[in-house]
Amino acid sequence: MIQPIRLFGDPVLRQRAVEVVDFDKELRKLVEDLTDTMLDAPGAGLAAPQIGVGLRVFTWHVDGETGHLVNPVLDLSDEEQFGPEGCLSIPELSFDCRRALSVVAKGFDMHGEPLTIEGSELLARALQHETDHLDGVLFIDRLDDETRKAAKKAIREAEWFGAEPPRVKVSPHPTGGLGL
């Protein structure tokens, strides 16, 4: 089910999400909600905190491939890429951001089975971006000082900035006290 996406300024976006310990029906529903919301937006990825759930889960949709990862751990390449990056929680804005060119992401699927995802370029960028969300880090935090200053100015001037936050029901997912 499509959920409201939390926007820049919502405190849940700045909190570290907790590890998933129960690979149950609620987790599968969370992955379904993340996927539906991400595809509807549309976006290249969506992390649980972006829909108000403080758990270490995200989905991605890159080059026609859709997937999810629970409790990710990343191994980054030394090679870097520099290019445009955006965020569904900072709509309609993108800025050039430096990321590792390739990544190996290890974690679990929604059933608790080990999962390894290897990606480069856009998939690597999406995996890093979504893992950052799970640590309370936004991509604008990774911009150089001058670009970050321009980004914050653009955010303050955005039509959506300071808008009434969406009304959300209490999450049916255990959040460990994080999020709603």
Residue 121 maps to a domain = yes
Residue 162 lies in a domain: no
CA dihedral (35, 158, 11, 94) positive or negative: positive
- Tell me the catalytic residues: 130
User: What pLDDT sits at residue 16?
Assistant: 97
CATH number for the domain that contains residue 113: 3.90.45.10
In a domain, 166, yes or no: no
Mean pLDDT by 10 residues, the chain (180 residues): 95 96 97 97 96 97 96 98 97 96 98 97 98 97 96 94 60 54
In a domain, 110, yes or no: yes
Count up the domains in the chain and report the number.
Answer: 1
Q: Is 174 among the domain residues?
A: no
Residue 5 lies in a domain: no
The domain containing residue 133 runs over which residues? 11-157
CA 69 to chain centroid: 11
Q: Provide the pLDDT for residue 102.
A: 98
Contact 54, 178 (CB under 8 A): yes
